[in-house]
A and B are shown apart, each in its own frame.
Chain A
Amino acid sequence: MIGEPLLRTEGLTCDFGALRAVNRVTLSVQAGTLHSVIGPNGSGKTTLFNLISGELRPTDGRVYFEGRDITGLPSHRLPHLGLARCFQRTNVFPKLTTYENVWVAAFAGRTPGALGFLRRASEFSAVDTEVRRILGDIGLAHKTAAPAETLSHGQQRALEVGVTLASSPRLVLLDEPTQGLAPEATQQMTQLVQRLVGRYTILLIEHKMRIVMSISDRISVMAVGELIAEGTPDEVRENRDVQRAYLGTRR
């Protein structure tokens, strides 16, 4: 079962001036799994995501996706290779409708030749089908015509995930999808993420322990920029280093 992992980082390092935000992180994500990255605030999780998704260039180290070196590729290339991300702070297109938000992401993966641009946007029926399927998946089928800025926070988080899924990725990077959600919406988001398992390989950053422990196949733990533990939820729960990172050292 352990073949070439879908995503592999090798000694990934990122410095912001004198601060080392991510320090020699080597990580493998197996296809078909839900792999979580946890760690206290400021431990470098989001920076790690930004390095993988091309928003930041690493100071050192490499990123391989499906065996291919993607280090330093511009972020707009990655969706075309099968890697898409969603953001921690909701990051959609505020004045576009829900439908248009997902449409523009779905279309990116199917850009036709120059002649295709002579057609009207509404004439791409395959894109339309895909958009409606995703809007159904994320529970926003009744909001197609609403501008994204008019959606509730929970709906915007769901749209954020929908925009990410629209490029038909094989690997989805989810950065704290439940961030700032009320308990009920958190539960819905968790169910949404669970429904994605099996269809997509997921790399998830999440703060809420209960969620992480219940839905992850594997968990990597970061602290001060370094990977300090990795394993199944049970292994991580028992790990001394992890307990120390979260609860502080007893001296």
Chain B
Amino acid sequence: MSRLWSRNEAVLRFVLLLAAIVVLPLLVRPVVASEIWIFAIAAMALNLIFGYTGMLSFGQATFFGLAAYTAGLMMIHWQAPLLAVLAAGTLVGALAAAVLGYVCIQRVGTYFIMLTFGFNQMFFFIAYKWTSVTGGDDGLPGIPRPPLALGPASIRLDSSLRYYVFVAAVFLLAFYAMKRIVDSPLGVIFQSIRENPGRAAAVGYDVKRYKWIAFTIAGGFTGSAGVLYSMMFGIVPLESMSWIISGDIVFMVLIGGIGNLYGPLLGAAAFKWLSEAISVVWERWPLILGVALVLVVLFLRGGLVEAFTRLRDAVGGPRARREPGERVAVGVTAERETGW
């Protein structure tokens, strides 16, 4: 059932991911490294609804921001513990996605995108105007970073490197959960809906129900990313709810490669890394981002993942060469010509 090329390659890729987690804080500032995995979670979530289920949401910042504000308020007013805040933010993201998503999935294509965008603008406006709760334009400041309480042990996360380790651990958990979702029957059902919703209904799936499930799950993941983001700088900026974040997440998924577990991770890393590296030298770095996006859409529809595949095939010779998009499922049988 798996769309992975082979078991060995799957293991290799996971090992590379672990290596990246270890090496990353040595290459970039730990704060940037944390941001990469935080946005990797959000990009992974969008990939579930966009790459797997075929619904482009341009409003993921709604759930990112709602969870970030929820976490911030819980920590400021109730001194809530870390894991409780993480759980609450995830839940808020999922619940909000369940309610808003129920409305959005009633429409498809452009109308779906506009509904997600519309809700995003609505919640942004609420956060902007409701200054007594959210701080409005100034953001919500004074957010502590509570220690991680594991049984009797209490681990302080006060340095940015310590916080990085915590973020990486949450990311790995989220990655494992996402992998299990994609490998579960849901993964195949979501893809069948992306490929052909009418036929998915004709074989017996309530398409709207499964779209709603995908949207809700993604909202939960995006919420957990929002919580991690709220503790990064001790402030929830108004921007965390803005359409710019929604757009960034879409960019990351497109640049990395959609419909593939690792694509969004590469996309998030490339996006955040580039923005950090280039913005230091040249403040007009979004220009480069725009060019990169145009190039990807024109020449590299599979994103960075496809670039890697092509590179490997070029280096690996004919043995590794495959048609683009070709996959090998479990239980492969040798090709043989028959009458069909």
Contacts and interface: CB of A to CB of B under 8 A. Distances in A.
Interface of A: 53, 55, 74-80, 84-85, 87, 91-97, 99-100, 103-105, 107-109, 111, 116-122, 124, 128, 132, 139-147, 149-152, 154-155, 158, 163-164, 166-167, 184-185, 188
Given A109-B204, A139-B338, A185-B340, 6 more contacts: A74-B201, A91-B196, A121-B187, A139-B339, A139-B340, A145-B332
B316 interface: no
Contacts of A85: 202
Interface stretch (B62-70, B111-119, B319-327): B319-327
Contacts of A93: 191-192, 195-196, 199-200
B259 to A, nearest CB: 8
A168 B184 CA distance: 22
Contacts of A140: 340
Nearest to A156: B340
B27 interface: no
A188 B335 contact: no
Contact of A150 (B200, B204, B326, B331): B326
Contacts of B138: none
Contact of B326 (A78, A105, A147): A147
A188 B325 CA distance: 29
Interface string B173-206: 0000000100111111101100110111111111
Contacts of A111: 185
A152 B339 CA distance: 11
Q: Interface size bucket, B side?
A: 35 or more
Given A108-B204, A116-B185, A100 B333 contact: no
Contacts of A149: 325
9 contacts: A84-B202, A85-B202, A103-B1, A104-B188, A118-B184, A144-B333, A152-B340, A184-B339, A188-B339
A107 B334 CA distance: 25
B10 to A, nearest CB: 13
Contacts of A128: 331
Given A118-B180, A144-B329, A147-B327, A96 B192 contact: yes
B205 A108 contact: yes
B263 to A, nearest CB: 15
Contact of A94 (B186, B196, B207, B335): B196
Given A144-B329, A145-B329, A76 B205 contact: yes
Given A91-B196, A142-B335, A158 B340 contact: yes
Given A121-B184, A140-B340, A95 B195 contact: yes
B185 A121 contact: yes
Which interface residue of B185, B334, B338, B339 has the most chain A CB atoms within 10 A?
A: B185
B15 interface: no
A164 B203 CA distance: 7
Contact of A167 (B2, B196, B204, B339): B204
A116 B185 CA distance: 9
A39 B200 CA distance: 29
B331 A94 contact: no
A102 B285 CA distance: 47
A104 B195 CA distance: 12
Given A117-B184, A121-B183, A144-B332, A76 B327 contact: no
B330 interface: yes
B336 interface: yes
Interface in B195-232: 195-196, 198-207
B338 to A, nearest CB: 6
Contacts of B329: 97, 99-100, 144-145
Contact of A80 (B204, B326, B327, B334): B204
A143 B331 CA distance: 11
Contacts of B206: 74, 76
A117 B195 contact: no
A107 B340 contact: no
B328 interface: yes
Contacts of B185: 107, 111, 116-117, 119, 121, 124
Given A109-B204, A117-B185, A184-B339, A122 B330 contact: yes
Contacts of A53: 202
Contact of A76 (B195, B201, B330): B201
A94 B330 CA distance: 18
B271 to A, nearest CB: 26
A141 B203 contact: no
A100 B196 CA distance: 13
A120 B1 contact: yes
